[in-house]
Amino acid sequence: MLREILNRRDLIGELVLRNIKVRYSRPVLGVFWAFLPPIFNVLIFYLVFSRILKVNIEEAPFMLYLMSAIFPWSFFQETVMASITCLTDSRNIVKEGGVPHYFIPVSIALANGVNFLFPLLLMLAMAVIMLKGLPIFAILLPLVLLIHIMLTIAVSIIVSVLYVKLRDIKYVFETLFLALFYISPIVYSASFIRQSFPETIYKLYVMNPLTGLFNLYRLSVIKGFVYFIKRDFGLISVLVVPLCFSLAMLIFAVHYYKRNRDEINDYLAY
Amino acid sequence: MKSMTTLLTEPREERCPAPANILVELAGVGKKYKLAKSDFWALRDINFSVEQGRILGILGRNGAGKTTLLNIIAGALAVTEGKVSLRGKVLALFNLCIGFQDELSGRENIFLNGMLLGASRKELESKLDEIIAFSELGDFIEMPLGTYSQGMRLRLGFSVVVNLDFDILVIDEVLAVGDALFQNKCFQRLTEFRRAGKTLIITNQGIDLIKRLSDTIVVVNHGRLVFLGNPEDAIARYQVLLNTEQFSVLPQDIVKSTKRSAGDISAWGQKLGTKEAVINNVEILNKWGFLCQEIETNSPLKVKVHFAVKDTIKESHFGVAIFREDGMYCYGPNTQFDNMHIPLLKPGSYYFIFDCEALLLAPGRYYISVAIWDKDETVAYDYHNGCYHLTVSGKICGNENALTNIPFKYNYSINPARLFNLFTGRNTFPSLDLSSVAWGQSYGLNNIEVKQVKFLDIKNKENNIFFTGEPVKIAVSFNRYPYRNKDLWLWIGIYRSDGVYCQGIIVPFFNKGGHIMYFPELALLPGGYAVSIGIWSSKTCNFLMYQHGLYPFAMEFNRQDHGTVFLKHTWIWNY
Spatial separation of the C-alpha atoms in residues B58 and B192, rounded to whole Å? 20
The per-residue DSSP string of A37-82 comes to HHHHHHHHHIIIIIIIS----SSS-HHHHHHHHHHHHHHHHHHHHH
- B71, B103, B116 member nearest A99 (Cβ): B116
pLDDT mean across residues, chain B: 80
In chain B, the N- to C-terminal Cα span, in Å, equals 41
B483 within some domain: yes
Binning chain A into helix, strand and coil, the percentages to the nearest 5 are 85, 0, 15
Spatial separation of the C-alpha atoms in residues B357 and B354, rounded to whole Å? 10
The total of other beta-carbon atoms located within 10 Å of residue A205's CB is 17
- The stretch A241-264 carries a mean pLDDT of 92
Cα-Cα-Cα-Cα dihedral sign, residues B235, B240, B242, B243: positive
Rounded to a whole number, what is the distance in Å from the CA of A200 to chain B's nearest CA?
Answer: 46
3-class secondary-structure state, position A211: helix
B149 within some domain: yes
* Three-class DSSP labels, B95-162: CCCCCCCCCCEHHHHHHHHHHHCCCCHHHHHHHHHHHHHHHCCHHHHHCEHHHCCHHHHHHHHHHHHH
B333 within some domain: yes
Say if CB B193 and CB B161 are below 8 A apart: no
Amino acid identity, position A193: I
Say if CB B79 and CB B31 are below 8 A apart: yes
- The stretch B375-389 carries a mean pLDDT of 82
B523, B496: one domain: yes
pLDDT of residue B90: 86
Give the pLDDT confidence of B78-101 residue by residue, as tens digits. Answer: 888 888 888 888 888 877 778 888
Give the pLDDT confidence of A10-51 residue by residue, as tens digits. Answer: 888 888 988 888 888 778 887 788 888 888 999 999 999 888
Chain B, residues 14-53, CB within 8 A of chain A, namely 33-34
Cross-strand partners of B331: B322, B563
pLDDT of residue A78: 92
Predicted confidence band of residue A218 (pLDDT cuts 50, 70, 90): very high
- The stretch B379-385 carries a mean pLDDT of 85
Spatial separation of the C-alpha atoms in residues B69 and B46, rounded to whole Å? 9
The values of phi and psi at residue B428, to 5°, are -120, 0
Q: Is A145 left (phi over 0), alpha (psi -120 to 50) or beta?
A: alpha
B258 within some domain: no
Most confident of A61-65, B315-319, B424-428, B433-437: A61-65
Cross-strand partners of A127: none
Q: Examine the fold and report which residue of B395, B417, B447 is the final residue of a domain before the chain moves on.
A: B395
- Provide the number of structural domains found in chain B: 3
Closest alpha carbon to A221 in A153, A127, A144, A139:
A127
B75, B134: one domain: yes
Spatial separation of the C-alpha atoms in residues B316 and B278, rounded to whole Å? 13
Most confident of A208-217, B427-436, B502-511: A208-217
Q: Is A211 left (phi over 0), alpha (psi -120 to 50) or beta?
A: alpha
The CA-based diameter of chain A, rounded to the nearest angstrom, is: 57
B296, B239: one domain: no
B389, B503: one domain: no
pLDDT of residue B9: 37
Of the residues B70, B80, B107, B115, the best mutation for testing chain A's interface (the one with the most A CB atoms within 10 Å of its CB) is B115
- For the purposes of burial, counting CB atoms within 10 Å of the CB of B58, is it exposed (0-12), middle (13-18) or buried (19 or more)? buried
pLDDT of residue B267: 76
- B250 versus A131: the higher-pLDDT residue is A131
State which residues form the domain around B38: 22-253
CATH number, position B52: 3.40.50.300
- B544 versus B526: the higher-pLDDT residue is B526
Give the ipTM of the model, two decimals please.
0.78
Most confident of A89-98, A201-210, B10-19: A201-210
pLDDT of residue A51: 87
Say if CB B334 and CB B377 are below 8 A apart: yes
- B221 versus B416: the higher-pLDDT residue is B221
The H or E element that residue B81 is part of is: strand B81-86
Predicted confidence band of residue B249 (pLDDT cuts 50, 70, 90): very low
pLDDT of residue B427: 43
List chain A residues with CB under 8 Å of B122.
10
Predicted confidence band of residue B412 (pLDDT cuts 50, 70, 90): low
- Is the CB of A92 less than 8 angstroms away from the CB of B99? yes
pLDDT of residue A110: 94
The H or E element that residue B86 is part of is: strand B81-86
Spatial separation of the C-alpha atoms in residues B153 and B182, rounded to whole Å? 12
Least confident of B136-145, B372-381, B461-470: B372-381
B12 within some domain: no
B193, B273: one domain: no
- For the purposes of burial, counting CB atoms within 10 Å of the CB of B338, is it exposed (0-12), middle (13-18) or buried (19 or more)? middle
Give the pLDDT confidence of B506-535 residue by residue, as tens digits. Answer: 887 776 667 888 888 888 988 889 998 888
Say if CB A108 and CB A156 are below 8 A apart: yes
- For the purposes of burial, counting CB atoms within 10 Å of the CB of A3, is it exposed (0-12), middle (13-18) or buried (19 or more)? exposed
% of chain A exceeding 70 in pLDDT: 99
pLDDT of residue B541: 73
pLDDT of residue B81: 87
Give the pLDDT confidence of A66-106 residue by residue, as tens digits. Answer: 999 999 999 999 999 999 999 888 887 887 777 888 999 99
Cα dist from A269 to B67, B221, B562, whole Å: 12, 21, 41
B74–chain A Cβ distance below 8 A for any pair: yes
3-class secondary-structure state, position B264: coil
B207, B295: one domain: no
- B77, B104, B116 member nearest A21 (Cβ): B104
CATH number, position B500: 2.70.50.60
pLDDT at B418 over 70: no
Spatial separation of the C-alpha atoms in residues B563 and B333, rounded to whole Å? 9
Q: Is A193 left (phi over 0), alpha (psi -120 to 50) or beta?
A: alpha
B316, B460: one domain: no
The H or E element that residue B351 is part of is: strand B348-356
B428, B339: one domain: no
Give the pLDDT confidence of B20-40 residue by residue, as tens digits. Answer: 588 888 888 888 887 766 677
B115–chain A Cβ distance below 8 A for any pair: yes
Rounded to a whole number, what is the distance in Å from the CA of B141 to chain A's nearest CA?
Answer: 17
Rounded to a whole number, what is the distance in Å from the CA of A12 to chain B's nearest CA?
Answer: 9
Give the pLDDT confidence of A131-160 residue by residue, as tens digits. Answer: 888 888 889 999 999 999 999 999 999 999
Q: Are strands B294-296 and B380-393 parallel, antiparallel or unpaired?
A: parallel
Spatial separation of the C-alpha atoms in residues B115 and B161, rounded to whole Å? 11
B494, B355: one domain: no
pLDDT of residue B10: 38
Cross-strand partners of B34: B39
- Look up the pTM and report it: 0.57
Q: B102: nearest CA in chain A?
A: A22
pLDDT of residue B252: 38
The per-residue DSSP string of A109-158 comes to HHHHHHHHHHHHHHHHHHHHHHHSS--GGGGGHHHHHHHHHHHHHHHHHH
Least confident of A116-120, A146-150, B190-194: B190-194
B259 within some domain: no
pLDDT at A174 over 90: yes
Q: Examine the fold and report which residue of B232, B253, B274 is the final residue of a domain before the chain moves on.
A: B253
3-class secondary-structure state, position B363: coil
B403 within some domain: no
User: At CB < 8 Å, which residues of chain A contact B?
Assistant: 8, 10-11, 13-15, 18, 21-22, 25-26, 90, 92-93, 95-99, 261-263, 265-266, 269
pLDDT at A195 over 50: yes
pLDDT at B431 over 60: no
Least confident of A52-61, B162-171, B233-242: B233-242
- Is the CB of A98 less than 8 angstroms away from the CB of B92? yes
B71–chain A Cβ distance below 8 A for any pair: yes
B115, B221: one domain: yes
B6 within some domain: no
Of the residues A28, A266, A267, A270, the best mutation for testing chain B's interface (the one with the most B CB atoms within 10 Å of its CB) is A266
- The stretch B529-555 carries a mean pLDDT of 83
Say if CB B93 and CB B174 are below 8 A apart: yes
Say if CB B69 and CB B81 are below 8 A apart: no
Say if CB B57 and CB B217 are below 8 A apart: yes
Domain boundary assignment for chain A: 2-268
Spatial separation of the C-alpha atoms in residues B125 and B407, rounded to whole Å? 64
